[in-house]
Amino acid sequence: MSRLWQFLATAILVVASFNAWSDTALGYQKPPSEILDLVDIKLAPSTFMDDKRENMLMLYRDTYKSISDLSKKEMRLAGLRIDPVTNIGSRVTYYNEMKIKHLVDGKTITVKGIPENARLANFQWSPDQKKMAFTHTTETAVELWYLDIAKAKAKRLSKMALNANLGNVITWFADSRSLLVKAVPENKRALIDTNSAVPNGPTISVSDGKKAQNRTYQDLLKNKDDEFNFEQLALSTLYKVTLKGKSKRWLDTAMYGDLSISPDGKYVLVNEVKRPFSYLVPYYRFASSTSVYDIDADLVSVIADTPLVEDLPKGFMAVIDGRREVSWRQDEAATLIYVKALDGGDPAKEVEFRDQVYQLSAPFKGEGRPLIKTFNRFYRITWGDNNTAIAQDYWWNNRNTKSYLFAPNDNSKQPRILFDRNYQDRYSDPGSFVTQRNQFARPVLAIQDGSLFLLGAGHSKEGQFPFLDSLSLNDQKLTRLYHSSYTDKLERLYDFEADKSRLLVRIESKNEYPNYYFRTLNSQKQALTQITHFENPFKSIQNVEKQVIDYKREDGLELSATLYLPLDYKKGEKYPMLMWAYPREFKDKSSASQNTQNPNEFTYPYYGSPIYWVTKGYVVLDDAAFPIVGEGEEEPNDSFRTQLVANAKAAIDAVDEKGLIDRERVAVGGHSYGAFMVANLLSHSDLFAAGIARSGAYNRTLTPFGFQSEERSYWEAPDIYYTMSPFMHADKMKTPLLLIHGNDDNNSGTYPMQSERYFNALKGLGAPVRLVMLPKESHGYRAKESILHVLWEQDRWLDLHLKPKQSQLSNAK
């Protein structure tokens, strides 16, 4: 047969294959067995461990929801997605089995009394950690349950229907014998069916001349009917419920948000959402009040009245001008903490200090006593005692963070800055301070012999070696107490018991499933005691060859990625490659070039992972570094496209130099901002044979007041918005692109219309593109049917465009 006829026969097969696959009425499909066997697995449990390290609660769940679960009635109001029948989030992850592992003798007991078809959530330890409260969602309501740890027995506490729509639904009182819960009001009014209700007039919005430059939030209120429904679903009545099942009304009906009991148990901090509502921002920026009640539900003081926040100053570091972040001081019986901006909440103002932290004691009247000023925007405080606390701040624009050591009860002592660093600089990260439970059962700094302790991830140029340090309160000297020396495993440090000189760690390798251990430091050879014995459910890929590779961009910037070879790899052969990445913005090249990937991390395929394709004869380059750097006055996005293409070329060159791939058969994939990256790469380079873009945004004029890490509005930087938008360059697209999007995406900026409009543009211009809209799915995909179909779509797309010969032969047979 002549080459001409061979070409024509091949073309006919490809066209026939593509047409057979382009059926718009296609039902849910499943990927091939090699991939399916890695998806349809039983998950290891989630774990809760008490602070005494005596018991571990293990919670089991189904790996995926079903499409029928996602198809239940749902209301999307003020940034929330609610099941209006049961009064809980419509996309909550539920557990259906509980076990208790006794860490002293190693015995595991299955909890008795769990209801049939259990849907368990909202787990809360009691202060004494002898009990665990949780909710069970039936077909009609959310119920209150609790678990007696010693008896390993669960019990329903009340038949009342709880309201889990707003804030925490369960709050333990300090006595561990009673709980404060939110119940659905007895006089709750029927909701309006907005799909069938007859409108009584238009919806009108008005601007009063103030700037209100907000992100493109989704699921916002749209009209008066939405306002009514939101209020009915947010209203709850507070009840005190004892462990004997007796209930007593505690506060009358209102839109309660978060609730918090004071450490001594004598007061309750109550947040309440109020009108006016907004059609521009989610519920957490509606008007609200924060008040203190005593244990008998008598109002003690209103701490903060916060108005509707629609018009914050411009910038990521903008905050309200008034009291914010009200909370309890964890090391005192009943002292409130709050923060006030010293710059009016406007990051554009030049001031020495940005924030001031205050404390306010009972009876919680007037202005509090100043505690500490922060140079940057306040982040958090880890409390210790009257003489010791650690405050942290941060500033997004220069990525700076500071940690302060200060004495809460002695203003004569000036705070000392312990760490002043770029928070994107992982190599200099000192770690997180170790905490322990105090007499109020609250986490406070672990202080022993005049020292604090820090647990660090241990990233460095030489690799990752997690560590434990002590910090002297006297001279702030750091002393290394332990560092992991594994070169073939990864040891993560989770906690340190200073009195026992014992670490809680998790150890894993690329083919060993993560398990928990105790490491005793003062014992011979720092002995390990294994706590859990979870098995690897992904054994078919446990021997995949995996390595972290380092390479350089054309401007000298050091990059890295995790490289996987096909399971059937044969030296000397060249394979197609799938590269997966996500762009990240940096303000300095040093941080951007740091390698934080570990080849010893367990190889864990999840629904969005590219790892599956090592079973199908592909080289996989995962988590390829895609830094976008803007130093000094330059913003990262000023050269976004140039850096994007340079990153991609450097990655392909690095793998090609190893002789592993056919660089004419390389695909690139990404999710969310990674999908945006894919569309730009295919439009502005010829490096790829195909692309996969999931749940992305492609027209930045639809997010005109900023996106991702871009603070400037469209009107301030129109060229940036135009240049970065793949939609504006749809005429340049010649590479096959698979677009996938959840039909009910709730992520800011990634409206489903982003993919729909981009597809229409590409189709109209004759570009090779396929659009898959997933019913009922949000920004991340949850239903098993959807996930299997997405994997099928991706597999077919890759085979069609990266393995044309194999694909044609398969279809010909």
Per-residue buried b or exposed e for 47-74, using 16+ beta carbons within 10 Å of the residue's own CB: ebbbeebebbbbbbbeebbebebbeeeb
> Any residues with CB less than 8 A from the CB of 44 and at least 6 apart, and which?
513, 534, 535, 537
- In this structure, how many other beta carbons lie within 10 angstroms of the beta carbon of residue 809? 11
Q: Distance between CA atoms of 607 and 734, rounded to whole angstroms? A: 28
Which residue type is seen at 128?
D
Token pair 């809209």 is found at 773
Strand partners for 483: 467
* Sheet of 46-49, strands arranged across: 46-49, 55-60, 97-102, 108-110
Q: Distance between CA atoms of 451 and 568, rounded to whole angstroms? A: 53
Which residue type is seen at 231?
E
696: tokens are 């992305």
Phi/psi of residue 500, nearest 5 degrees:
-105, -5
Q: Distance between CA atoms of 280 and 208, rounded to whole angstroms? A: 14
Q: Catalytic residue at 672?
A: yes
Which residue type is seen at 485?
S
Radius of gyration of the chain (CA): 28
Q: Catalytic residue at 779?
A: yes
Cα–Cα distance list, 719 to 674, 701, 708, 731 (Å): 21, 11, 17, 18
Phi/psi of residue 511, nearest 5 degrees:
-125, 10
Of 102, 301, 327, 779, catalytic: 779
CA nearest to 532, candidates 552, 512, 551 = 512
CA nearest to 347, candidates 312, 297, 388 = 312
Contact between residue 768 and residue 585 where contact means Cβ atoms under 8 Å apart = no
CA dihedral sign of residues 775, 777, 781, 784: negative
CA atoms within 13 A on the CB side of 354: 21
- If you write DSSP's letter for every residue of 564-621 in order, what string do you get? E--TT--TT--EEEEEEEEEEEES-HHHHT-----TTS-----TT-SGGGGGGT-EEE
Of 509, 672, 755, 786, catalytic: 672
Of 745, 748, 795, 799, catalytic: 745
Active site residues: 672, 745, 779
